Amino acid sequence: MTPSEDLFKHLSALRKQGEMDRALEVLREALRRGGLGPEEIERAGRFLIKARAGETDARGTVRVLLLGQCTTSWLVPAMTAVAWGQGQVVSVTEGGYDTILQDLEMMAAKGSGPDVVVLIPWTQRLMGNTGSTEERVADELAFWRRAWDVAARMGSRVIQVGYDWMAPGAEGFGLAGEPGGIVELTRAANAALRRERPAGSYFLDLEMVSGMLGRESFYDPRRYYWTKQPFSERGTVRLAEHIWAGVRAVTTGPKKVLVLDLDNTLWGGVVGETGPLGVALGESPDGEAYRAFQKHAKALAKRGIVLALASKNNEADGREPFEKNPEMVLTLDDIAAAEINWEPKGTTIRRLAQTLSLGLDSFVFFDDNPAEREQVRQAIPEVAVADVPVEPAEYVRALQAGLWFEAAALTEADAARAEQYAVERKRRELQQSAGSMEDYLRSLDMRAEVRDIDEADLMRVVQLLGKTNQFNLTTRRHSREDVLRLLAMPGSFGMTVRVADRFGDHGLIGLMIAVPADDDPRTLRVDTWLMSCRVIGRTVEEFFAAELLDRAARQGFARILGEYIPTKKNALVSELYDRMGYRRVEVLPDGTVRYELDVEDATRPVTYLVARESEALVPSA
C-alpha cells in the first residue's frame, strides 16, 4: 500500500468514527507538506467537497466560479485541495461547457455573484476565425469585455486566463511565430487581454505557466478529445495552483514578509567559523548562486515585500557580512527587522510579527535547514514554509514555486512599503530612548492629510479593502464597483488618511466609508474603517475618529453608528469604538457589536497628529 493510499484509508476511518474535523486537519497537513501527486490532490479535493457540503456560505469562505471555453470539471477539486492546503476554504463551482456569457447573465439575474470569476479561454474560436490577426483578436476582445461587464455588475473580481498553443501546427516551429502563425496569434490575443483587462483583475499568463512545466506534460490531447479538457493531471494541478494564487492576489493580496535565514541561505558556510570574508559569495558556482538569491530578494523588496532575518547566530557575527563583505548584495538597510539569536525560529518569527505589526499568515519562511523548517511548520502553521532544495542554484526557483508574492497590480504604496518598514527601525530606536510614550509621540512630529476618495486613490483603496485584516472593523471586501456605488449614495462619503513624520512618509494608510442609515437620514453608519497596522498606537485612529465626528457634524448628522464584526484576525480592534467614546447598544449571537455616538455631545479624542495640506506631507529634515 502506498503512502497516499494509507492517507486516504486513514481519512476514511476517521470519517466513519465521526472525527471529520480531525480528518480535515490531517488532510490539510498532508497537502501543506506537498507530498501528494496530481491524482491524489484531485482525490483530496473530492473528499473535501463531500466533507464540507452545505458549508459554502460559512464566514471566511471565498466563492469562486470557473467559466471556460473548455471543460473545467477536474479543476474544481484540484483548486479546492490547493486552497485547503494553504489554509483557505473555497467554494468552487463551474459553469457549462463554453456557456460563459449565458452563465454570467443567469447569475447576474439572481442578484448574487461570486467573490471571484475565473475566465478560461480555449483556442477553438481564436484559431477557427478567419481574417487578420487584428480582426480575430478584436473579435475575442469584444467577447471578453461582455463577460467583464457582467462580472462588474455582480461586484465580482476577475481572473482572466490567457490563451495558449499546444503545438506549433502545420507552420512548424520556425514559422509559428510569424504573422498569421499560431504562436503569433496567441501572443497578440494575450497582449490585448493584458492591456484591456478591468482594473483590479489578475491576468494569468497560460503560455508562461505551461512553458514552465513543458507543454508535453501540461497538456493531454486525448483528454481534450474525450472530455474537452485539454489539461493533463499535472497540468490541471499546476493551473489550479496558479488560479489560487490569482484568487489570493485579488482578494487578500500577496504575502507581505519574507523571513530569511543567514548561514547557507544568504551565503555559503557558517560565518561564525569562516568570518565575514570567508563565506561563499561571488567568484565560485555556489557563491554566484547565493548572490543571485540575494538579488532576487532585493528585487522583491523593491516591489514591496518586507525582508526580515531569523538566524541562530551570535548577533555580531550575523551582521558582519552585511557590514564588511563587499560581495553582499543585500544591506542592513534592506532589512526591516532582524532576530539573530539562539532561540527557536518559531519564537523569533512570532517576535518579528509583533515588531512589524503584521499577521503571521502574511509571512513566508526560507531556511536551508530542514529541522528549522519543521519546527516552524509545527509551531506556527499560519506561516508558509518554502521547501528549500540542497542546491543553492535552485533557491530562486524554489521560492518562486510557492507563488506567494503574486499580485494583481503594483501601486506606488507597494513600491514604498519595504523602505517604510526599514525606516520603522529608526522610529523604534527613538521610542526606546524616549522618556515616555507622550514624549515619543510628540517627537515624531506627525502630520496627517485627510481627503475624499478619488480616482487616483481608488486602486489603493480597493487593495486595502481586499487585504487589510487586523485593523479592520467590519472586514467587508468591497470591489471597485461596490466602492463607487456606496460613494454615489446621497449623503455618503469616503475618506483616506495619509501620515508622515520626521523619518518619512507612510503614504495612504487608512480609509473610512460612511453612509446614511437606511431608516434614518440623520444617522450616519460607518460601513468600513480600516488602517495599516504599522501606525497603530500613535493616535492615528483617534485622529481619524475626530475627522469622522467633524464630518458628521458638518453634514448635519445627529448620530453615528459603528459596528465591530469579529474575525479570527481583527481582535486588535475589538474595543476601538469603546475607546473612542461610543456606547454599546447591541451584541449579536455571532459576536458582532453595534455602537452609537451622539454627535452633539461627543468629545473629540486626543491625538498627537496635526492636520496639514498635501504639499506639507514631506518629511522634515
Per-residue pLDDT tens digits for 31-73: 988 889 999 999 999 999 988 765 655 667 899 999 999 999 9
Task: Look up the pTM and report it.
Answer: 0.77
Secondary structure E strands in 148-205: 157-161, 202-204
454 within 8 A of 342, measured Cβ to Cβ? no
Angle between helices 75-85 and 20-32 (to 10 degrees): 90
pLDDT in tens, 325-343: 999 999 998 998 999 999 9
State how far the Cα of 79 lies from the Cα of 15, in Å rounded to an integer: 22
3-state secondary structure 42-87: HHHHHHHHHHCCCCCCCCCCEEEEEEECCCCCCHHHHHHHHHHHCC
Q: What is the pLDDT of residue 206?
A: 96
pLDDT score of 443 more than 80: no
Q: What is the pLDDT of residue 473?
A: 93
Each residue's pLDDT tens digit, 94-123: 999 999 999 999 998 887 789 999 999 998
Which pLDDT band, with edges at 50, 70 and 90, does 1 fall under?
very low
In this prediction, residue 620 carries a pLDDT of 34
Question: At CB < 8 A and 24+ separation, what contacts does 19-28 make?
Answer: 20/51, 23/51, 24/48, 24/51, 24/52, 24/84, 27/84, 28/84, 28/85, 28/87
What distance in Å separates the CA atoms of residue 571 and residue 32, rounded to the nearest whole number?
A: 26
- In DSSP notation, 545-574 reads HHHHHHHHHHTT-SEEEEEE---SS-GGGT
Which pLDDT band holds residue 435 (cuts at 50, 70, 90)?
A: low
Q: Please report the domains of the chain, with CATH numbers, ordered by start residue.
A: 57-251 (3.40.50.1110), 258-401 (3.40.50.1000), 444-616 (3.40.630.30)
DSSP H helical ranges for 197-253: 206-213, 215-218, 221-227, 233-251
Residues near 28 by Cβ (< 8 Å), separated by ≥ 6? 84, 85, 87
186 touches 201 (CB < 8 A): no
- 115-156 pLDDT tens trace: 999 999 998 888 877 788 899 999 999 999 999 999 988 889
Neighbours of 354 (CB within 10 A): 11
Q: How far is CA 605 from the centre of its chain?
A: 33
Residues 6+ apart with CB under 8 A from 387: 34, 373, 398, 401
Average pLDDT, whole number, for the chain? Answer: 88
Whole-angstrom Cα distance, residue 334 to residue 346? 22
Q: Would strands 593-598 and 559-564 be described as parallel, antiparallel, or unpaired?
A: antiparallel
Q: What is the pLDDT of residue 555?
A: 93
Cross-strand bridge partners of residue 602: none
- Cβ atoms of 307 and 262 within 8 Å: the answer is no
**Location of C-alpha cell 439575474:** 109
Burial degree of 253 (CB within 10 A; 0-12, 13-18, 19+): buried
How far is CA 565 from each of CA 202, 358, 394, 478, 536, rounded to the nearest angstrom? 29, 20, 44, 15, 19
Q: Are 230 and 223 in contact (CB under 8 A)?
A: yes
CA 581 to centroid of chain Cα atoms: 34
In Å, what is the CA distance from 187 to each residue of 134, 184, 205, 208, 480?
12, 5, 10, 11, 29
Average pLDDT over residues 574-591: 92
pLDDT of residue 2: 59
Residue 392's nearest CA partner among 310, 540, 290 is 290
pLDDT tens profile 293-334: 999 999 999 888 999 999 999 999 999 999 999 999 999 989
Please give the Cα distance from 16 to 14 (Å, whole number).
Answer: 5
* Own/partner long-range contacts of 279-283 (Cβ < 8 Å, ≥24 apart): 279/321, 279/325, 281/321, 281/325, 281/327, 281/328, 282/327
The pairing of beta strand 520-531 with beta strand 504-517: antiparallel
Residues in CB range of 452: below 8 A, 6 or more apart: 493, 494, 495, 496
CB 78, CB 112: distance < 8 Å: no
Contacts of 126 (CB under 8 A, 6+ apart): 136, 140, 163, 185, 186, 189
Which of 556, 471, 567, 481 shows the shortest CA–CA distance to 512? 471
Alpha-carbon distances of 308 from 256, 352, 418, 419, rounded to whole Å: 11, 8, 10, 12
pLDDT in tens, 492-551: 999 999 888 877 777 888 899 999 998 888 999 999 999 887 677 788 899 999 999 999
pLDDT at 410 over 80: no
